[in-house]
A and B are shown apart, each in its own frame.
Chain A
């Protein structure tokens, strides 16, 4: 047995695999919201931990790219750290935590707060790409439903929800319609982020490794969250501001401070929060003690 078991290609994947994934990406862009089947490879990280996003990133990344990886909006969550380290190792690529400096952003569960720009690519890690899966577990059936544009069942399901709960209670992975044709799963981002997908300047690519699907939303493309005239789509709102940077109208994480119900809310997007603080914004938690000042 050789001590040097394997030498890996740039960005880990072999060229034949990259070509296969690249072809799938081009078709995905040409058919917005349609899930292109691809021969997903066994990656050196577990299925369900971003193998789809990693394969997409590995197939598009080049030496001139600057990569940012986030999980839950944060650059320092362990799986984001692990994926970033993987690309540093196999592609020797420049990395950043600054949204504005990145050319490729791989994400799990969030879209950055800062508006993305032309030339940026947002790569989503997707666990279950099929938006109809929670209505119908069979691929053979859901494929027909997409082919026939038969989405009535989805509306029935959402309406049942209103009948039972008084509102659409789906809070994340909220289904969208892309360019008026395909119903698409935006991956388990909170529905707070759905409006950011609409007419984005950036290209959005979605990779589902275990389920072997790639799909895409080109820039400047309509992405509409499903709703009803009498029950329009609405996003979460937070009463509080970020305790660290004072940001309002951003997605916040709830942090439990003690066992007496004490909690605070801070930006989920860590880069956004740090950037604001660098620019002098201060939240309640970091503000100089007001009583002392008085």
Chain B
């Protein structure tokens, strides 16, 4: 006997209870703390902050814990929280030349003022599983240099001295940086909005697109001018005070990609640039972002649009992993009403064909 399914509410609440149980796991093990996540899974926390567009290590760590380590779920949690926050204003543009640099590498110069600083990188680690991490062995204190107050010159500034690289674009005087979390999206986009979309775009998607440009799908001859990671000051103009006040420091990763040059009979050739800036430490993301940013400038720089990474509407419409995961996963919601409509149509079309076939056979029989 068929009984219409009831009690959805109880089913949902039981599912949530089971989820909480699985999240906690074996009760004989100590529960992981938010501080532990923030300290020891710091790069996961960084990714969540970057793609959620919210700089808050504790909340991002909470989201990682709550999502059982599913980072897209964690990004989603943090974004849904972000959307409820009041907006007080926009900061002054970050000055990355003033960064307290922890890591800084350039692929375009052997040595340069400020030097190459490897910092905390996986580069040159041999990817051998480390048995010492099976237990809680003491970890050496890091070697430290005297940071001093000296500013570490940006490679783009070095190239700019000779006019070898395109300048930062000029925006109209009254231009206010756009915000795609507050305005409906419209194509073509201005570069500020596009960079915002890329900065919160899915790391894996941008990685694949950046990779595709290297393999010839929209090649743009990139050199890593510079990657720098460190803390920068965030300031906000307060009109009532007439000056900017500091809101604190955040850690960011910046990538300046130096790309194929461009010139004309009027303008001497100059290198072009692709730009990447993300919260926290994420070289992969900032490098991918700068490759895709450069690829998306194809039209502006008079290049043919031939590859997916150069197609703004395609890239930006599909770069958001919270949107993508929602829509892909919505396919598991019930669709049986539409499926019923399709079922009836397929049955009817099959019946038509079988009817026609039977008709043919009858005619043949009659003729015989």
Contacts and interface: CB of A to CB of B under 8 A. Distances in A.
Given A42-B79, A42-B80, A210-B323, A264 B2 contact: yes
B327 A48 contact: yes
A282 B325 CA distance: 44
Nearest to B353: A166
Q: Is the interface of A mostly helix, strand, loop or mixed?
A: loop
B331 to A, nearest CB: 8
Nearest to B10: A81
A78 B343 contact: no
A165 B342 CA distance: 13
A105 to B, nearest CB: 16
Nearest to A286: B1
A210 B327 contact: yes
Contacts of A257: 2
B333 A252 contact: no
A286 to B, nearest CB: 9
A37 B337 contact: no
A252 B340 contact: yes
Contacts of B234: none
B363 to A, nearest CB: 20
Contacts of A42: 76, 79-80, 82-83, 181, 322
A73 B62 CA distance: 37
Contact of B336 (A38, A44, A72, A236): A72
B345 A171 contact: yes
B330 A190 contact: no
Given A1-B58, A171-B338, A253-B337, A48 B330 contact: yes
Judged by DSSP, the binding face of B is helix
Contacts of A78: 8, 11-12
A139 B76 CA distance: 25
Contact of A172 (B86, B188, B341): B341
A266 B8 contact: no
Contacts of B81: 5-6
Interface string A1-24: 100011010001010000000000
Contacts of A6: 81, 84-85
B48 to A, nearest CB: 14
A108 to B, nearest CB: 8
Nearest to A140: B187
A251 B337 contact: yes
B315 to A, nearest CB: 13
Contacts, number: 150
B216 interface: no
Given A44-B80, A48-B330, A76 B5 contact: yes
Interface in A191-238: 191-192, 210, 212, 236, 238
Contacts of B102: none
B341 A266 contact: no
A72 B8 CA distance: 14
Contacts of B58: 1
A238 B344 CA distance: 9
Contacts of B83: 41-43
Contact of A85 (B5, B9, B352): B9
Interface in B335-368: 335-338, 340-345, 349, 352
Interface residues of A, number: 67
Contacts of A82: 12
A129 B12 CA distance: 29
Contacts of B187: 139-140
Interface in A245-289: 251-255, 257, 264, 266, 268, 270, 285
Given A46-B329, A82-B12, A140-B313, A37 B340 contact: no
User: Most A CB atoms within 10 A — which of B1, B8, B85, B344?
Assistant: B8
Contacts of B334: 71-72, 77, 79
Contacts of B182: 39
Contacts of B186: 37
A243 B2 contact: yes
A6 to B, nearest CB: 5
A247 to B, nearest CB: 14
A188 interface: yes
B170 interface: no
B326 interface: yes
Interface of A: 1, 5-6, 8, 12, 14, 37-44, 46-49, 51, 71-74, 76-82, 85, 108-110, 127, 138-140, 165-167, 169, 171-173, 188-192, 210, 212, 236, 238, 243-244, 251-255, 257, 264, 266, 268, 270, 285
Interface of B: 1-2, 4-9, 11-12, 34, 58-59, 62, 76, 79-86, 181-188, 313, 317, 322-323, 325-330, 333-338, 340-345, 349, 352
7 contacts: A47-B322, A47-B330, A76-B6, A127-B327, A139-B187, A253-B337, A254-B343
The 6 A-B residue pairs with the shortest CB-CB distance, nearest first, are: A47-B326, A48-B330, A37-B184, A46-B326, A171-B341, A81-B8
Given A49-B326, A109-B337, A127-B330, 4 more contacts: A43-B80, A47-B323, A212-B185, A243-B2
